[in-house]
Amino acid sequence: MIIDNHMKSILENREALAKIVNDVAEVAGYLWQKGWAERNGGNITVNITEQVDDAIRALPAISPVYQIGTTLPHLKGCYFYCKGTNMRMRDLARWPMDNGSVIRILDDCASYVIIADKPVKPTSELPSHLAVHNYLLAKGSPYRASVHTHPIELVALTHNKMFMEKDVATKMLWSMIPETKAFCPRGLGMVPYMLPSSVELADATIKAIDDDYDVVMWEKHGVFAVDTDVMAAFDQIDVLNKSALIYIAAKNMGFTPDGMTDEQMQEMSVAFNLPK
């Protein structure tokens, strides 16, 4: 008898779900190319519940039950694609279902199981990712993706207390080039240093996002961004880091950049109907 060892992927014959996972893989490649994803650095999760059909709901667990570490009532029955812990973005870019997995949140809203394709344990930053998804669902937000990465120049900024003060970095970054305010219109929130993967960091991240930011810095660590999809979350980080690079380029030329004036930035808000 020939045993067919070919494992069917959850992505087979599911175009919408496959597109979401392909987009995660594409962004993972960008993170690596930009030098933001050393070793296993960074993580991505996407709420894929809207792509889940009855056949997926019937899939058995392929892992033990794992605790999230916190209870998240809005995630009951939700499904997420998650980067695997200790997995590399550069590997995920080529093999997203070997370096990430799909999880189901159980009815206690405090635990989860892996359902596909392989028992790849989700990212250590799962508490922050899931707490933020819970917050977004509670608010009725259309945001489904969250990206954590280590962008060199933005992380460097957080090593200066001045830039950790509310909206000092936002104002400087917005003033480097008009696009940054247009495409990261809520600016950059700041979260003081906390232990990676901790529930405290998750709580502080939600608090910062609730303060009306889509992108927040984890001091001396990285950035955490949310948006409708993974591409849009990546774009917000990318425009912010571009501004940081312009700031540094001017500094390297021997001067502190003037930045756009307050009037020029106000004019942008009116012309493009921006929230801040």
- Angstrom distance (rounded) from CA 127 to CA 178: 35
Q: Toward ligand 13P, which CB reaches closer, 85 or 111? A: 85
Q: Which of 125, 214, 227, 238 binds ligand 13P (CB under 6 A)?
A: 125
- Using CB under 6 A as the binding rule, whether residue 243 contacts ligand 13P is answered as no
Has 26 been annotated as catalytic? no
Assigned token pair, 190: 């700041």
- Angstrom distance (rounded) from CA 22 to CA 15: 10
CB of 218 to Zn ion, least distance (A): 7
Beta pairing partners, 8: none
Q: Which of 124, 141, 198, 269 binds ligand 13P (CB under 6 A)?
A: 124
Partner whose footprint covers residue 186, from Zn ion, ligand 13P, none (CB < 5 to 8 Å by kind)? none
Q: Which of 23, 28, 36, 40 binds ligand 13P (CB under 6 A)?
A: 40
Using CB under 6 A, which of the segments 18-26, 37-45, 92-100, 129-137 binds ligand 13P? 37-45
Q: Toward Zn ion, which CB reaches closer, 39 or 94? A: 39
Chain residues binding Zn ion by CB under 5 A are 222
Using CB under 6 A, which of the segments 78-86, 178-186, 202-210, 224-232 binds ligand 13P? 78-86
Q: Which of 43, 51, 236, 241 binds ligand 13P (CB under 6 A)?
A: 43
- Angstrom distance (rounded) from CA 58 to CA 60: 6
Q: Toward Zn ion, which CB reaches closer, 189 or 222? A: 222
Q: Toward ligand 13P, which CB reaches closer, 49 or 124? A: 124
- Angstrom distance (rounded) from CA 215 to CA 240: 9
Catalytic residue among 125, 179, 219, 263: 125
- Using CB under 6 A as the binding rule, whether residue 41 contacts ligand 13P is answered as yes
Q: Toward Zn ion, which CB reaches closer, 84 or 222? A: 222
Partner whose footprint covers residue 133, from Zn ion, ligand 13P, none (CB < 5 to 8 Å by kind)? none
Share in percent of the chain as helix, strand, coil (round to 5): 40, 15, 40
Assigned token pair, 214: 């889509």
CB of 198 to ligand 13P, least distance (A): 10
- Using CB under 6 A as the binding rule, whether residue 160 contacts ligand 13P is answered as no
Distances (CA, A) of 248 to 153, 173, 244, 251: 8, 11, 6, 5
E-only strand ranges, 110-211: 111-116, 145-149, 188-191
- Sheet of strand 43-47, all strands in order from the earlier edge strand to the far edge: 66-67, 111-116, 100-105, 79-83, 43-47, 145-149, 222-227, 215-218, 188-191
Q: How far apart are the first and last CA of the chain?
A: 67
Partner whose footprint covers residue 45, from Zn ion, ligand 13P, none (CB < 5 to 8 Å by kind)? none
Give me the amino acid identity at 108: D
Active site residues: 125
